[in-house]
């Protein structure tokens, strides 16, 4: 699988941060417009990864959301906006997206 582009859709604050780290395709949009942009980018076949602010999730059609949960090309990852209380843990994200349970796995040098 060849890596295509990476995009972000969400709040302006997060969008600026992703631009600073080199992600050129960032879209600062309201939640409703963000949901429409996600559908557009998903169907474009131009991206390997689409990162989306979690605030947009509730504006996405349930059938499309189910499709996003099982599709890996492109991989759609929902990111919590700073200060949101319902954040998905890295462990549950890995299990949902990759099908791998990493709970209790130690990463790094524990010497």
Cα 70 to Cα 12, 21, 45, 110, distances in angstroms: 28, 28, 16, 34
Residue 106 lies inside a defined structural domain of this protein: no
Which range marks the domain in which residue 53 is found? 5-98
What's the rounded Cα separation, in Å, for the pair 57 and 46?
Answer: 21
Number of domains forming the structure of the chain: 1
pTM (2 decimals)? 0.73
CATH number for the domain that contains residue 63: 3.40.50.10580
DSSP helix/strand/coil, 47: strand
Give residue-wise pLDDT tens across range 6-61: 999 999 988 998 999 899 999 999 999 999 999 999 999 999 999 999 999 999 99
């Amino acid at each position: 699988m060849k890596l295509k582009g990476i995009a972000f859709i969400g709040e302006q604050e997060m969008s600026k941060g992703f631009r600073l780290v080199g992600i050129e395709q960032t879209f600062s949009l309201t939640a409703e417009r963000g949901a429409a942009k996600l559908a557009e980018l998903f169907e474009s076949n131009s991206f390997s990864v689409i990162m989306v602010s979690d605030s947009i999730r509730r504006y996405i059609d349930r059938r499309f959301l189910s499709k996003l949960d099982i599709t890996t090309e492109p991989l759609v990852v929902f990111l919590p906006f700073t200060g949101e209380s319902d954040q998905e843990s890295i462990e549950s994200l890995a299990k949902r997206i990759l099908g791998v349970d990493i709970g209790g796995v130690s990463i790094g040098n524990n010497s």
